Chain A
Amino acid sequence: MIRRDQVKARLTLNAPLAEAVLTSFIRDAVETSGTQGVVVGLSGGVDSSLAAALAARALGPERVHGFLLPYRTSARESEQDARLVAEHLGVPHQVIDISPMVDAYFALESDAGPDRRGNKMARERMTILFDQAKKLGSLVLGTSNKTEILLGYSTVFGDNASSLNPLGDLYKGQVWQLSRHLGLPEQVIGKAPSADLWPGQTDEGELGFEYETADEVLYLLFDMGLRPEEVAARGYDERVVRRVVALEQQFRFKRRLMLIARLSGSAVNLDQEIPRD
């Protein structure tokens, strides 16, 4: 039996221990792959800031390359915050404006709506990060958190693509907790999370619920094994619970990226589960 007022405490991490484990993860991945370091896209949001901060502690700031990848409609504050974080961490950083590449394509597809444009921007950033990683002999550092991954709140092969992701098992609230522990600027931690795909966009506005609630509902569903009706019975808005469950089901495909038609008895992944390490 778990009560609603107990969930928050369960989601609290021993922050120094989490830092030790996650920096060891980044160091191990870089060392065993024989690469120089990591590249990370800095959006000015808390997730990419935390990922960069962990990498800077793991590898030293000089081995972390931050890329600010604004589109012409991106909020100015996003770029300012990204710069603030890069300077705060002391990591080398560079701005690459993605507008010419994105606009070149949409000149041919002028009727595309904001969803398609947002996805294209996310994928444009991904191709730049992977190219820069190749150039610098580095790995692409992922910045998707567990809440986003479970809700499918990402662009497939866009912001969810990476070589390694230190945040993928942290709920959004835990991202905030660790960010405070690492002393990231409060202006970055405290602002409303946004994918900044169009002006004024906020994650919570688009999702229809707050991250704090989503974390708790997801924790009860996936970590504790409660059924949706049992979660709602603990005082969560039934519509929110239903929406969380629906999103999780709808976007499962984003978590398992290769769907291979199996013909032989030795299909990659299904029959031949070869570890990547």
Chain B
Amino acid sequence: MAESPSTLLKIGLAQIDCRLGDVERNAERHLDWIERARAAGVDLLVFPELSLTGYRLLHLTPRVALPPGSPILRRLAEAARPMRVLLGFVEEGERGVLHNSAVLLSDGEPSYVHRKLYLPTYGIFQEERFFGAGRRLELADLPWGKVGVLICEDLWHPELARRLAVAGTRLIIVLSASPGRIGAGALPESHESWETLTRSTALLDTCWVAYCGRVGWEEGSFYPGGSHVVRPGGEMMERAPLLVEHLLVTEIDLRDSDRLRWRLPLLDDERFDIAGPTS
């Protein structure tokens, strides 16, 4: 019996640098990388968190906010056809609230938005000051199956990935703009944490995990890159180089997640009915 081809897709992770606060220029860069991905036969192209605006915007945040239906996003969606593109932007939501969001562009239009649910406001991070937290977790419908989208800090709260997996996703995509830290180790310390997280998510939630990080500098803080794809079960499949722009193209079969789940039925066994502890 032939394998269903519809679960096979080429995912592209565009590990780019972004110009802080310059939406026009970043949009041009997105167009460049969309063309590179097209040449590589990519079906689904992912950009980092806030790829259209840069990350450390602070009081520039309102100046670069866009509604999901804005002409610039439509232009990118149109250019991407028939590819699907996930990118990060500052979303102008209802009631004057701004969100750190990811938008899926498919068939020439924005078709799904994930608003970052956990806004880090500690250490170097100030997101809660400038953004409103999202309130909903939804799966994105793609031709190959339902996909979960998380933004950076969202992955540090593992119940989200768990809920996405239980709801039926076999692929979790993480858009990130995570400032780098180095120590004695071979990889940046910050990146070690990310691989621990993505690999344990792939193991515990028995799904594919694709992590798209960015590179470049903002205000003296660097983004190390190291975008990667982890197989269901936690095996590192491919990793982009550190510190340089790169398009990482990986062919994945969402069905591999089902195959693992037959052997390792963690999600099927999951119980949400256990009482206690009472503190």
Chain A residues in the interface with B (C-beta under 8 A): 9-10, 12-14, 17-18, 20-21, 24-25, 28-29, 164, 168, 271-277
Contacts and interface: CB of A to CB of B under 8 A. Distances in A.
A168 B219 CA distance: 13
How extensive is the interface on chain B, given as a class? 20 to 34
Given A25-B222, A28-B217, A275-B21, A18 B182 contact: yes
Contacts of A18: 182
Contacts of B216: 28
Nearest to A273: B58
Given A21-B222, A24-B222, A25-B217, A275 B184 contact: no
Contact of B60 (A13, A25, A28, A274): A274
A5 to B, nearest CB: 15
Interface in B176-194: 180, 182-188
Given A17-B188, A20-B243, A28-B216, 12 more contacts: A9-B184, A10-B183, A13-B184, A14-B183, A21-B180, A21-B222, A21-B243, A272-B59, A274-B60, A276-B219, A277-B54, A277-B56
Given A20-B243, A21-B180, A277 B217 contact: yes
B218 interface: yes
B185 A14 contact: yes
B20 A277 contact: yes
B252 interface: no
Contacts of B96: none
B243 A24 contact: yes
A150 to B, nearest CB: 16
Nearest to B129: A273
Interface string B146-164: 0000000000000000000
B57 interface: yes
A13 B243 contact: no
B220 interface: yes
A20 B185 CA distance: 14
A29 B180 CA distance: 17
29 contacts: A10-B183, A10-B184, A12-B184, A13-B182, A13-B183, A14-B184, A14-B186, A17-B186, A18-B182, A20-B242, A21-B182, A21-B224, A25-B217, A25-B222, A29-B217, A271-B59, A272-B59, A273-B58, A274-B58, A274-B59, A275-B20, A275-B56, A275-B57, A275-B60, A275-B218, A275-B219, A277-B20, A277-B54, A277-B219
A24 B217 contact: yes
A13 B185 CA distance: 8
Contacts of A25: 217, 220, 222
Nearest to A169: B220
A72 to B, nearest CB: 37
A18 B182 CA distance: 7
A9 B185 CA distance: 11
Contacts of B20: 275, 277
Interface in B19-46: 20-21
A273 B182 contact: no
Contacts of B60: 274-275
B131 to A, nearest CB: 14
8 closest residue pairs by CB, A with B? A273-B58, A28-B217, A12-B184, A277-B20, A277-B218, A273-B59, A272-B59, A275-B219
Contacts of B21: 275
Contacts of B59: 271-274
Contacts of A14: 182-186
B244 to A, nearest CB: 9
B169 to A, nearest CB: 34
A12 B186 CA distance: 12
B30 to A, nearest CB: 19
Contacts of A10: 183-184
Contacts of A28: 216-217
Contacts of B183: 10, 12-14
A17 B222 CA distance: 13
Nearest to B184: A12
Contacts of A277: 20, 54, 56, 217-219
Contacts of B224: 21
Contacts of A9: 184
Nearest to A20: B243
A13 B180 CA distance: 14
Contacts of B58: 273-275
B233 to A, nearest CB: 29
Contacts of A271: 59
A149 to B, nearest CB: 13
Interface in B226-247: 242-243
A20 B184 CA distance: 14
Contacts of B188: 17, 21
Contacts of A276: 219
Nearest to B224: A21
A72 B224 CA distance: 46
A7 to B, nearest CB: 12
Interface in B105-152: none
Contacts of B242: 17, 20
Nearest to A17: B182
